[in-house]
Amino acid sequence: MALIENIRVFVRVLELGSLSAAGRHMRLSPAVVSHRLQQLEAHLGVRLLNRTTRRVKPTEHGSAFYEACQDVLATLERAEATVADAGRLPRGTLRITAPLGFGRQILAPILPDFREAHPEVSVQLRLSDHVLDLLAEGMDVALRMGTLADSSLIARKIADCPQVLCAAPAYLKRHGTPAEPADLLKHACLILRLPGARPVRWVLSSPDGPVTLAVSGPVDADFGEILTEFALRGHGVVMKPLWEVADYLRDGRLVPVLPDFPPPPISISVVYPHRRLVAAKTRAFADFILDRGSAAILEAIGEVAEQKVSAA
């Protein structure tokens, strides 16, 4: 098993580009990572990596060995999944990524139940509003919001969640309340913008069909919860999944904007790599979140969907 673990370390170092990055991902110190690589090179009798202070690059032997290791690890993973499936016992480390707000408000309250049901599975949770590459980052499963474009992944929809435009009463008192979608072009819109994303467009529903607006404003961020804080402090109008702002709508710190022109619902899905055999731990989590996720979202929304958002 030491050889297999050393190979896994080697592969992760090449995929992430440095010993420190691989160590953080695998919860190992750089010294342990370096030691495992030295053990592997000593076992093979060749140098696999050229190391600088900032990056590592494979030698010719290292490149060839890396390609072969991909097949070895894939075969081993299938074998482990087969054994786990035969015993019907999910086990091992499950690496999950999710948007920060979803992870904090929806996933965190129910994830302990998953662990209690599957005590042989340990969980590593990475929360980020950036869409991570599952394979490059070594993730087993992701919770994703919105349209999914990567056909190499299996996606199972958890729910369609209402979205809402909202703002603080103080902001609307100072700047007026929009009466129709085009009015948003004259307002401060708080925008979620991820690196490399296309220009932001807000889409609203209307009796005549979708209305698309090239909104702008004084704040854009790649971290959704900071936009909520700006909205609460009266800096503008924000578009949010309803579960993220339901509590603030209940207590009146935020109020709906343009309730007759709601944004379309946003899809929430569980996503994992397309493989011939899916590990029991991954399938168990996917089944769990499909069963519990929708109920958790509905609980977070509560009565707000009918009382606040749909009110004229």
Q: What pLDDT was estimated at residue 237?
A: 97
**pLDDT of the residue at 296:** 84
pLDDT at 311: 40
pTM score above 0.75: no
Task: Give pLDDT, residue 151.
Answer: 59
The CATH architecture of the domain made up of 163-264 is 3-Layer(aba) Sandwich (3.40)
Instruction: Write down the pLDDT at residue 82.
Output: 59
pLDDT of 191 reads 92
Rounded to whole angstroms, the maximal C-alpha distance in the chain is 74
Q: What is the pLDDT of residue 122?
A: 92
Buried/exposed code over 254-292 (b: 16+ C-beta within 10 A; e: otherwise): bbbbbeebbbeebbbbbbbbeeeebbbbbbbbbebbeeb
Q: Per CATH, which fold does 90-159+267-301 belong to?
A: D-Maltodextrin-Binding Protein; domain 2 (3.40.190)
- In angstroms, what CA-CA distances link 53 with 15, 44, 56, 139, 265? 17, 24, 8, 27, 48
pLDDT in the model for residue 123: 93
* CATH 3.40.190.290, the chain: domain bounds: 163-264
pLDDT of residue 262: 93
> In the chain, which residues fall in CATH 3.40.190.10?
90-159+267-301
Contacts of 111 by beta carbon, 8 Å cutoff, 6+ apart: 123, 125
**Which residues, given as ranges, of the chain have pLDDT below 50?**
308-312
Q: What is the predicted pLDDT for the residue at 34?
A: 87
- CATH, domain 2-85, list 3.30.300.130, 2.40.280.10, 2.60.120.260, 1.10.10.10: 1.10.10.10
Which part of the chain is CATH 1.10.10.10?
2-85
